[in-house]
Structure formats: C-alpha cells, structure tokens
Amino acid sequence: MMSLFISLTLLVNFSIISQGLATLSPSDGSGGVYEDLKWTAQLCCQVPLDQIVRSQLAATSGLLGQCQLINHTKPESSRKSHPLSGKCFDISCLFEGERANLICNAKSHGAALPAVSPQQLVLEMGLLSNETNHTTQCAGEDTATCSISLHGNDAIVSLSISLYVNGTTAMSPKMQINTYDLRTPEPPVNLHYNVTTEGEVIFRWSYTQPDSCEVRYSTNSSRHQCEVVKIKGRSWVHLNELNSGIRYTVQVRCQNSFNYWSEWSQPFYFTLDVSYIPAEVFSTPGSDVTLYAVFHNRSWSASNAVWMLNGQVKIPESQYRVINERVSAVTLQATSPGFDSLMCCHPWGERFKCTIAYAKMYTEGMFNADITCQSKNSKVDTMTCEWNKSAWAEVRFLYRQYKSMCEDVLKMDNNEDAEEFSASVKECPYGAGDHRECTLSNLSLFSCYKIWLEVEGGRGKVRSLPVYVAPIDYVKPSPPSDLEAITLPNKTLNVRWGRPPLPVYDMQYELRFSALRGMANMHWEVIGPFLEPQAEIFLEESCVQYKVEVRCKRLNGSGFWSNWSKSRSSVVYNRKAPEKGPDFWRIIQEDPVRNVSNVTLILQPVEAGDPNSCAEGLVIVHHAAGGVVWSNETSLVPFYSFLWRRETHTVSVMSRNSLGVSTWNSNITLLHQPKRRSVRSFSMAANASCVHLSWTLLSDQPMPQSFVIEWLDLNEDPEQNRSSTERTQWVRVQPNARDLCLCRRFYGSEKFTLCPVFVDGEGESVQCTATRGDPAAYMLLMIIMFLSIVLFITLMMSQNQMKKLMWKNIPNPYNCSWAKGMDFRQIETMENLFLHPEGLTACPLLLVSERICEVEIIDKPQTLECGKDNTKRTSTSSPLLGDSSEPLSLEASASATPETSGQSSVMYSTILLSDRPGLLRKQQESLSSSRDEGNFSANNSDISGSFPGGLWDLENHVCSDSGNPRHSSLYNSVEELSETSEYEASESTGGGKDLYYLAVNEKEEEKDEESESEEAQDERDENEEFQLCKGEIVMKADTKRQSEGNNYTSIDSNTTSHSIPLYLPQFQTESINPP
Amino acid sequence: MHSALVYTCILCMLSLGCSIPVPSDTLKNMVKLQAETINSRIQEHNEKLKLSPKLLIGDPELYPEVPADKPIQGLASIVDTLTIFQKVLHSLPKGHVSQLHTDVSTLQGYLVDRMSSMRCPLRKTANEKSLEAFLKDNATHHITVGYMALDRLQKFMQQLTVSLDQLKTC
C-alpha cells in the first residue's frame, strides 16, 4: 500500500516536472543560476517517510516523492512557499581544467531524515549537442560528483538527479547547462587607434557585447600606475592627453551579460609622434591630393611644419595649410604615375627633424621605371635587369615569357592586361625588395620577355610601363681569348685573338694598347672596330713592348661590348742581340749602422738603335773584390739598387733580348779608398733659364774618361711625390769638354756636382751652388725703396707741421729785453734767431735739413807768418789761449746741404793752436775729410779727443788764404760739440778755460771775412753776453752783425761764466768778430 | 699529504688557466673587419636613399627599442645588441639588407663562440615585446625604420671597432 502511494506521488510529480521542463529554455540556465563562473541550483525532493509524516505531508501539499527546483531568483521565499520537509540538494557545475570537462556536484544539505535512510543519489549528465548522446552517471549517498568531457567546445549539458529512498525513486526535473555562459568573457580584440584631422586620438576595440568596458593605459616607466577609463555602451574612447614619443601600453576588458569581467586584452603598444591622414592615398595624375599631419609632440607647431617629398625635396610652403596648432595639411598635385612618400618634419636649427612615420601616395597609371637589361650568353644564359625608381617604393619585379617575337607581342599585348595575373607571370626569384636589379637565369635568348614593376599599397597597386626584351638583343658577350701580340722591326704591332664561341652572330672588335715603359699610369690607345680577329697597328717606334687587350660586340644589331680581355704583352721580334748597353750613373746612400752603402743605378733608356736588335731587358753584372762575379736580370727599369760593402766593386749593365746580351756596355767602379783629385776649379753662371758650368783640371793628373754632372731637381711636385733618387738628374760630359750649358728649368739654388770618372774609378767630385738672383727679390727691393721714399716725404711734412705747432707755443719775443728793436716780421730776423729748429732736441733723428752753422777755416801758413803781429787772442780768459803766444792757423769751412743728410746739418769747428803745426798737420791728414754730421750719439771722434780745447786763431782770418786746400780742414763734429759742451759746463762753474765755438754761415766772401772778423773780435770783447729769457738761453748776438745778416759770431770767453745748457742751439748765434 | 694538496692546487690553477683562453688578435681582426664591412654596406645602402642631408630621421631619444648609443660592456652586451639589430633587419624587406643580416649574423657567431669558450652566461634580450610591437607598428614604414636602424647599427659598429678590448670580458 505504502509503495503504491509513493509510486503515485512520483507519477504526479513527474507529470508536473515534465510540464515545468517544457516551460524552461536552455538559455536561461534551466532552473540554475550562472554566477561566479558556476552554474548553481537547489533541488528539494519529497520522499516517502513513515505514516505520520506521510499523512501530514499529504494533508498539507499532497507532493509526496516530488523534487522541485527552488526559484533561484528568490530562493528563500520559494522555500517558504514550498515548505517541503524532504531532502534538499545544492547543485553546482563548473569547468574542470582548461574547459576540458564540466563537473557537477550535488550535495544534500539540512538535517538528515532518519526515516529516509538508506538512500542513493544519482547524477546523470549528457551532452545535448552531441549526436552520439554521450552521457555519464555518478552516484553517492549525500553527495555525488560527476564530470563530462566537453571535447574543447562549448556545449549544452543536461543534468538530472534521481533520488532512491527505500526502494522508491524521486527524480529531479531535467536541467540544462550552457557551458558558454560558464566561460569568462573573451577579452576585447582588434585594439587600434585613429587620429582625426582635428588631431584627436580615438582608441577603438572590438567586443561582441559592448556593455561596460574598462581601458587602462600606462607608460613603460609607470607600468604599475595605470590610468583606468570606464566606458559604457561603446567600444572607443578619446585619448587626447597622451604625450608624444612615449610608448604606451593599453589594455581593455569588458563585462558580459552575466557581469563576468573578461580578462584584460592583449597589450597594445603604440607611440604617438606624427600621424598622417590618410596614411596612404591613391590618386590619379592631375588630381589634387591633400594630406594631414598631426603633431602629437606639443612642442612642435603646425605653423612651422616642413613637408618633404621622398625625403629629398621640400614642398613649397605655399602648399601648406595650418588646420590648428597641431595639424598641418599639404595639397599637391599628382603629376605622373608612380609612388611617392611624404614626410612632415619640424625645423631643428638648419635641419629638419622627422619621425619614422611617413605617408604614401600612389598615383595610378604606368610609371616609367627605366628598366634596362643586359644578358650574358654562357653556360647558363642570364639576364640582369636594373631599374631606376625611388628607393622608398617596395617593388615587385614581374616578367612573362612569350614564344613570339617582341614585335608581335607588342601588337597583341594591348588587349591582354588581365593576362599578367595568369600563371605565366613570374616574379624575380630572389625578391626585388630594395634592390634595384634582378637577375634572371635559364633564359631563352631568342624569346621575348615582358618585364615590369609593381608597387603595392594597402588598397591597390601601381605598375610601371613594361619593357619587351629579347635577350639576344642585349647580350654582353664574353671577351675574346687567346690573345697574341708581337712588335715587329718594321714598327708594326701585330695582334691576333680568338672570338668567343657564343653567341654565334658576327662580331666586331676593339683593341687597346699601351706601351710598357715602366710607367705607373697606363695610357691606353683604343682603335677599331675590326671585323676579323686580328689587327696590325703601325707604331711610331720599334723595339717597344706593348700591353694589348681586346673586346667584342655584336656586329649587326644592338648589344653590349664585352669586358676587355686579359692583358697580353707583345713580344718584340729580334734578329740579333742588342749592341749597346745603357749608360748609367749611381747614387750612393751610406748606412753607417750596417757599414754598407745602398747603391742605386740610374739607368738611361736604351737608345733606339737597330730595330732588329731591341733590348727587352737588362743584365747587371757585378764584379766584387776577390774575383766574385754575379749578375741579375731585370726588365727595362729606370732604377736598380743593390748593397755595396765598400769594397772595390765594378758594375756593368748590359741590354738583353731573347738572342743574347749587348757587347758594348758601360761600367762603373765603386771605390771606398780616397779619390784622385783632378779638378782645379768648378764654377757656374746662371741666367733666367740656363746654367753655364765651367771647370778646369789640374795639370798633373791623368785625363778622365768622362765627367758626370749631377744635380737634384728642386721641382717637388706633391702630386708626383718623387723620391730624391727619382729627382736626381745627371749628364755625362766628354773628357775634353771644360764647360757645359744646361738649359732647362732651374730654381736658382741647385747644387751641381762635377765628378770626373776615370778608368779605375771616380775622382774627387766638386760642387758648385747656383746663385741666381731672384727677380722677385729685385721687385721686393724696389718696393721697399719706394716705401722708404714715401715714408721720408711723410716725415718731412709732419716735421713742418710740428714746427708750425711749436711756433704757436713760443712766447712773445717782444717781452724779452734782447728782442727790443728787432722786427720779427722779417724773415731774416727769424732765421737768425732760430737757425736750429726745435726739433733738433725734440726729435734729433728727424730733423729738417737746415743750415745752422757754417764755419770755413782756411789755413794759410804764409798769412800766419805775416799776421803774427796782428794776431789777437780771441779770449783772454781762456787759459789755453792765454798761454798761447802763437796765433791760430785754422780756417773752418762748413757747408751743409740737404743732400748729405736728412738731419739738421750742424757743423762745428775745433780751433787748433798754430803752435802745434805737426799735430795740426797730422790731424788734417787723418781727418781732413771727416764730416761727422748730425750724429749726436756717435762715439767720440779722434778730433774731439785730440783737441778738447781747440782754439780759434783770429789771425787766420786776417791772413786767411783759401788757396791752399791742403790746410783747409773742416772739423764739424757733433761729438766734439757734446764733449766740449760738457767740458764747458764744468768750466762755467769752476772758472776753467774758455772754449769757443763757431757758427759760421755760408757763402761769405773771403775779403769780407777778414774785415768782419776783425770787427767781430772787437765787439765781442765788449758786448757779448748771454741772456736768459724764460728758461731759454739765447746767446746775445752782435747787433751789428745781426743787422747785417752776417752769421759770423765770436764768443767772449767771459760769457762762459754763464750756465750754458748742453744743447745745440745755444751756440748758433754766437758770432766771432775778428779784430 | 701536503705535497698532494699543492699538486692538486697547481693542477686546478692550470686547468683554470686553460679554460679561459686569452682573446687572440685574430678575433679582434675578424671582428674589426666584419664591423667595417657592415659599415661600408650600410653607407652604400643609406646613400641610395638619396635623402636630403638636412633630414634627421629617428631622434636618438625616440624609439628606444632600437639601441642607440648603447654602451659596450663586454661580450654579452655586444651579443645582446646585435640580437636586437638582427631582429630589426629580419623585419625589413629582403634586398641588400639580407646581406647585412648575414654579416651581422657572422659577427654575432664569432662573439657567441668566444662567449662559450669563456663560459660567459648568455643574457636574455630585454624589452623583446616592445621591440616586436615597435616593428609591428612601423611595418609599413620600413624605409625609415631601416634607415634609422642601420644608422644606429653603423654607430654601434664604429663604437665596437674602437672597443675591441671589450672582447676580453664577458
């Protein structure tokens, strides 16, 4: 009965459950809740208990043996509304592992009903989507856990629970779990950013259900400090606060409808510098294209932007437009098809700072890529094609082979553009990339190849104009081979060669040849074309070996010249051995450390003699001490060096060819012993272009075999960089010659060495240095002289100017007592007063030549004798004169001319005592012509030293006779003046002997001298005195003489008691008045 | 007992000495020649671009993913830097850069061999992800990326040729 009741209850429950299942859809969880990556449900089953319980349950609900899913939205109220006192289970399902399995667990909760036990709980899971109906069952008492494999896919899993109690079964409604809803939402993908023409940065991503997302971004330096932005209802965000030049990492995550957060997306890295809008543009020729550049660097201003085309050309600023502070636009017209790049840069000093981003501009149409090809016909026929296109473009090199002639292909190709995309189109096997050439191999030389380039962009491509090439037309043949050349005695170069076997068409040839003379730089001479593989070239000289090369080219039609063949030296044809060896000289460089010398032979070119016996090389034969002989062979070199151990060594140089060596050869004997001296003199004379050398020999020496004159070429051309050996020049002179004229470019300081060469060795060499004047030196001298004259004139003018300035500072002479009655307006007066310019003391070396004082002293012995009675002492106060009873016999004559000196010519005379005629004569003899003019700083002269107190013989003036010039002496010594002035100065204080100086004017008549000197003498005794005026000492002149304009002055010895400063003008106006 | 200890020590020192070969001049010469070869190729490559001499592409302060003025501190740092340049070269279109890639690889081979003979630890390349992201971002600007990278590689080669003593240290 009891069992019948339970069965009925369960049947009722099943019917209700089945109805409930029909109302549940799989998408809503089928009674469960998706939360925290779990599907959860609560199931309560009414199971058969004892009679009491059973009756109560039947009275209240009538749901015996029923399992019911509790409403997951209001689980508590559901429980209350269905106060089942049966068994309840918590069910949860979740992924196991990496979504490989779904695992479900049912666990009873609440107090166990004692009457229920024993019980069994059974979980059954099945994959609904699986056609194989894979199910699994698991059982337990209070809890059961079951797992089902999902095979890596999302699936709908059915779940049912059966409860067996006391032999009866209570089954749950069938539940369904969608595993997709158990998953964590996929993170957003396709993260990227756009920049608008206003400069805004918009960050975007893709997500299936954009509901609520978070964007976080950080920099490398602040990885742990992310900025997070919450976004709702859209999949983009403005990121305008980013800095340029910084690498940002951005991640996004979103929530799904179950509020599950996805994982953070893969990080997106980006750096903002300059963005181009659009980054790539396609245009047609003639259309205007506008591009925008956004400066994300805030320190860059769009107003300073500089646009560069292909990184080479600056686009004119007139084409720029400033959109805002950060956005610059440029508009340019697409001219011709092709590809160009555009960069927007910012000035940085003189240069432009650019980022690595650039915009690409494709202009549709076919551009000219200047494709040129060159084919090679060899074991594998190849063709190398080159093109000339901007390196900014990444090109594809495409070609297609036709089986027709190129002319035919051209006609039919206009209508088959689409054919290029067929399988017959091939690409350069190695990838063109940034190469500008591609080599195709295994070609058919006679096929036609169509070749073109393609530049692909993101949204299309542009193509170059195709070229149609038949490789045979562009073949570069292999060079000719088997070259043979021979120089014949008839001045002919005969050359033969072999043509390359392929290609088989007719060939033409070119030949080039160059003489082999040991020169570093080959000078090629090209001749041709030749149609046969041989050539005969007429030469200017025979016996010359030539280097020969040949190349070939297709005779008819286009093609390329082959490379030059391997060089071949011609063989010089000879009938006999050379007759004569080359002449040579030596340079010896001693090495004292190794006790050896390095000898370099300077070999003259072999003279062109018989064309049948040409020299092809040299043989140097050494004869060393002890009879040791050896030889060396060399080509026709200009120099040959060897070591010499300073023993007797003879060297001879022979010419050689294939038939033998020369018989007439030069030799030289090197000796270390003292050399024979045979040259007496060696001199030279040089003019502008020639040097004339001459020498004489000692008579007691044998005649040399020859002379060698050696010198060093001073022309040091830095480009040639010649060594001293290469610059050494020499010439051999016949033994009977005694002079030589060398005409070539000399530099004026060459050192010529004359070396006599004897049979047994060299004689002692002598040297002579050229000393030719350099015209430049003369020019320099002339310039210096001219400048000196200009300087002199300038100084003269300045001196006059100074004199004028000095005059301004002269006090009013009318205030001086001595100037009373004088008329300074008269020129004569001024001249008398200021015969010595101020400049004499101020600037003694720059004085104007002026005549200050002139004394003419004429010694007349006869007059001296006859005038004894008439002689008067010039000064009684002078001890010398006082003691002297003899008259003075001296006539001073001084003349100063501007020509003699640029300085003020001041002439003073020393008055000599006539009682020392011997001394006087001796002085006259030695000093009669001495004129020591104007040099104040000179050393004391003999005159001043000999006659410190020279006297003036007044009688001479009375009996003067200028007819005896022998006794006419001029002692005009400034040193004398200085010394005697000092002496006088000392005497002025000590009252010593008197001294007389003369200031004598020129052009005085002799007869006037006599009378006037007498008068001056008289008046001097009476009137002469010095007057001092404002610090200047001026000798008071005899008014009479002054008025007469006579410069004869006499000095009263009494006046020497005054202080007389030692400067020249103090004496200038003293007059001597002869009695 | 003592003598055995001494012999053991001597043998240990000898074995230590043998295991650290002194860098020979041959390696220096090879590195120098290879570096100069790379520089010559870079010069030729960048000249073909015919860029205006006024242009300054790739400020050294920018794009730190590509080493610029990176100091040379022993073999490991050289190999590390070369590895980065290799990755940049690998990302560029094939062409003349392929030859440079081979040259840098050869140079890198010398140094790695030397490191292994000196038992130097290999250093893991830093900022690998940043470099990959940089190359990905600028995949369309390979001309300027190549120009900048080769310019920096050239400077590094110049620095290497004057720092050949660094080949002695790890």
What pLDDT digit, counting tens, does each position of B40-71 carry? 999 988 888 888 988 999 888 788 888 888 88
Kindly tell me the sign of the dihedral angle through the C-alpha atoms of A325, A327, A332, A338: positive
Distance in angstroms (rounded) separating the CA atoms of residues A860 and A505:
124
Beta-carbon separation of B58 and A245 below 8 A: no
pLDDT one-digit tens code per residue, A236-247:
998 877 888 888
Q: How many residues does chain A have?
A: 1075
CA atoms within 13 A on the CB side of A269: 20
Torsion from C-alpha of A686, A691, A692, A696, nearest 10 degrees? 100
Residue recorded with tokens 């060399």: A634
Distance in angstroms (rounded) separating the CA atoms of residues A207 and A254:
8
pTM: 0.54
Taking the CA of residue B76 and the nearest CA in chain A, the distance in Å comes to 24
DSSP A1038: P
Question: Looking at per-residue confidence, does A564 or B19 come out higher?
Answer: A564
Residue of A nearest to B62 (CA): A245
Beta-carbon separation of A348 and B56 below 8 A: yes
Mutate to test the interface with A, among B141, B145, B147, B152 (most CBs of A within 10 A): B141
Q: Which of A269, A280, A431 lies at the smallest CB-CB distance from B137? A: A269
Beta-carbon separation of A434 and B146 below 8 A: yes
Task: Using 70 as the pLDDT threshold, list the residues of chain A that sit under it.
Answer: 1-31, 36, 47-65, 71-86, 110-118, 129-132, 209-210, 220-224, 413-423, 431-434, 518-521, 674, 688, 716, 718-720, 748, 771-775, 777, 808-1075
Beta-carbon separation of A356 and B141 below 8 A: yes
Beta-carbon separation of A430 and B94 below 8 A: yes
Query: Residue A93's closest CA among A156, A46, A153?
Result: A156
Following DSSP, what letter does each residue of A831-854 receive, concatenated? HHHTSS-THHHH-GGG----EEE-
Chain B residues touching residue A270 (CB < 8 angstroms): 133, 137
Beta-carbon separation of A271 and B134 below 8 A: yes
Distance in angstroms (rounded) separating the CA atoms of residues B157 and B170:
18
Taking the CA of residue A158 and the nearest CA in chain B, the distance in Å comes to 44
Taking the CA of residue A733 and the nearest CA in chain B, the distance in Å comes to 57
**Who's near A931: CB < 8 A, 6+ residues apart?**
A900, A907, A970, A972
Distance in angstroms (rounded) separating the CA atoms of residues A647 and A673:
9
Q: Where are the beta strands (DSSP E) in A403-533?
A: 425-427, 437-441, 448-456, 461-464, 467-469, 481-488, 492-498, 507-515, 525-530
Beta-carbon separation of A352 and B54 below 8 A: yes
CA atoms within 13 A on the CB side of A568: 23
Q: Is A917 helix (H, G, I), strand (E, B) or coil?
A: helix
The amino acid occupying position A981 is: S
pLDDT one-digit tens code per residue, A441-464:
888 888 999 999 988 887 788 889
Distance in angstroms (rounded) separating the CA atoms of residues B44 and A391:
13
Q: E strand or H helix at B19, and its extent?
A: helix B2-19
pLDDT one-digit tens code per residue, A1008-1035:
444 444 444 444 444 443 333 333 333 3
- The whole-number pLDDT of residue B11 equals 46
Residue of B nearest to A354 (CA): B57
The strand pair at A175-178 and A690-697 is best described as: unpaired
Q: Is the peptide bond before A316 cis (omega within 30 degrees of 0)?
A: no
Distance in angstroms (rounded) separating the CA atoms of residues A655 and A666:
10
Chain B residues touching residue A280 (CB < 8 angstroms): 140
Q: Is A556 helix (H, G, I), strand (E, B) or coil?
A: coil
- The whole-number pLDDT of residue A944 equals 38
Q: E strand or H helix at A69, and its extent?
A: strand A67-69
**Contact A415/B at CB under 8 A:** no
Beta-carbon separation of A435 and B49 below 8 A: no
CA atoms within 13 A on the CB side of A651: 23
Q: Can you say how many angstroms the Cα of residue A1047 is from the centroid of all Cα atoms in its chain?
A: 79
Distance in angstroms (rounded) separating the CA atoms of residues A345 and A42:
69
- The whole-number pLDDT of residue A511 equals 96
Residue of A nearest to B99 (CA): A435
- The whole-number pLDDT of residue B165 equals 84
- The whole-number pLDDT of residue B86 equals 92
Average pLDDT, chain B: 82
Distance in angstroms (rounded) separating the CA atoms of residues A468 and A385:
12
Chain B residues touching residue A345 (CB < 8 angstroms): 55
Beta-carbon separation of B57 and A431 below 8 A: no
Query: Residue A395's closest CA among B108, B143, B16?
Result: B143
Chain B residues touching residue A268 (CB < 8 angstroms): 133
Interface of B with A (CB under 8 A): 45, 48-52, 54-59, 61-65, 93-98, 129-130, 133-134, 137-138, 140-146, 148
**Contact A459/B at CB under 8 A:** no
- Whether A858 contacts A909, CB under 8 Å: no
DSSP B109: H
Beta-carbon separation of B130 and A247 below 8 A: yes
- Whether A320 contacts A305, CB under 8 Å: yes
Mutate to test the interface with B, among A356, A430, A437 (most CBs of B within 10 A): A356
A804: phi then psi, degrees, rounded to nearest 5: -65, -40
Report the first-to-last Cα separation within chain B, whole angstroms.
37
Chain A residues touching residue B58 (CB < 8 angstroms): 355-356
Residue of B nearest to A348 (CA): B56
Beta-carbon separation of B55 and A311 below 8 A: yes
DSSP A969: B
**Contact A223/B at CB under 8 A:** no
Residue of A nearest to B146 (CA): A356
Query: Residue A54's closest CA among A172, A140, A165?
Result: A165
Mutate to test the interface with B, among A308, A389, A394, A434 (most CBs of B within 10 A): A434
B43-50 long-range contacts (CB < 8 A, ≥24 apart) are B43/B154, B44/B96, B45/A434, B45/B96, B45/B97, B45/B100, B45/B146, B45/B150, B46/B147, B46/B150, B46/B151, B48/A391, B48/A434, B48/A436, B49/A311, B49/A391, B49/A392, B49/B143, B49/B147, B50/A311, B50/A312, B50/A391
A8: phi then psi, degrees, rounded to nearest 5: -65, -45
Chain B residues touching residue A360 (CB < 8 angstroms): 140
Provide the token pair at A55: 């009756």
Chain A residues touching residue B64 (CB < 8 angstroms): 247
Torsion from C-alpha of A720, A721, A726, A727, nearest 10 degrees? 90
pLDDT-derived band at B4 (thresholds 50, 70, 90) equals low
Residue of A nearest to B131 (CA): A269
Beta-carbon separation of B59 and A353 below 8 A: yes
Beta-carbon separation of B96 and A434 below 8 A: yes
**Contact A395/B at CB under 8 A:** no
- The whole-number pLDDT of residue A885 equals 37
The amino acid occupying position B99 is: Q
Size of interface A-B (CB pairs under 8 A): 108
